[in-house]
Amino acid sequence: MTVSSAGAAPPTAEGNAAAALRLTFHQAHYDLLAFFRNRQSRFFTLALPVLFLVIFASVFGGSNHVAVPGGKIKTSVYYVPGIMALGIIAASFVNLVISVTVQRESGVLKRRRATPIAAGSVIAARVVTAIVTALLITGVLLTLGWLIYRAHVPGRTAPALVVTVMLGAAVFCCLGYALTSVIHNDEAAQPITQAVMLPLYFISGVFVPSSILPHWLVDVANIFPVKHLAAALLTAYNPFTRGAGFSGGDLLVLAAWGIGGLAVALRRFSWLPIRR
């Protein structure tokens, strides 16, 4: 057995920023290790989106088509970017809210707070973990879509897709931190995330294509970030999209939600258990 491979050097020997960055990746390494070892995390983040893709594509797929900007695509193919949004949110928001609430209430965060690791490194490590997991589930969904439904894999718009996935994961981490700060009970974390997200999945083009929803419902969905993540993913994935595939407007709204979430999280984040 050896000392940690990623042990921090004395702060005098390197800049604080470099040390913080190194500790972020040190922490993220162990966050990822714990994530992949946890059956519940694996199920909700990896297995469930795959299951949803297969169910929705089978139920509504067949020979149906969905109108998208520039033309029509098979419904089964439409669900690839839609369920991608769900996967990204599961990898960032849902996973983060549950595990951070549990870590806070069980004293794990409190104990870490007594060590030299900077608060920012602990927080940023979760974002790194979410981005890695989100990219993984995106890859899995793209591969399955291609294998089962002959869905295409974007080439020209691949950079836009990757950026959208990463931004989406980061934004929903910020929102997750914000929500964590108002949940006082670790047992409530799981139901609350589902209660927040399930309705949004239905009205945001994730479970049901936006083109068949009533206008007023789309207007409601447009307020919330899930719709903009799904729309940005569809733009980056849609074979009819011209140009690089960046959906500027959607990404801006997403970023705004992320900044709002971060502001709430920074004001309210607690290292100590709230329930006593």
- Closer to another protein at the Cβ: 187 or 219? 187
- Closer to another protein at the Cβ: 19 or 89? 19
* Opening angle at CA 204, ends 199 and 208, nearest 5: 85
Least separation in angstroms between CB 273 and another protein: 8
Q: How far apart are CA 225 and CA 148, in angstroms?
A: 29
Least separation in angstroms between CB 252 and another protein: 36
Least separation in angstroms between CB 104 and another protein: 11
8 A C-beta contact, residue 175 and residue 258 = yes
- Closer to another protein at the Cβ: 112 or 152? 112
Binding region for another protein (CB under 8 A): 1-11, 23, 26-27, 30, 33-35, 37-38, 99, 102-103, 106-108, 110-118, 272
- Closer to another protein at the Cβ: 102 or 148? 102
Least separation in angstroms between CB 232 and another protein: 32
Burial of 224 (0-12, 13-18, 19+ CB in 10 A): middle
First to last CA, the chain: 38
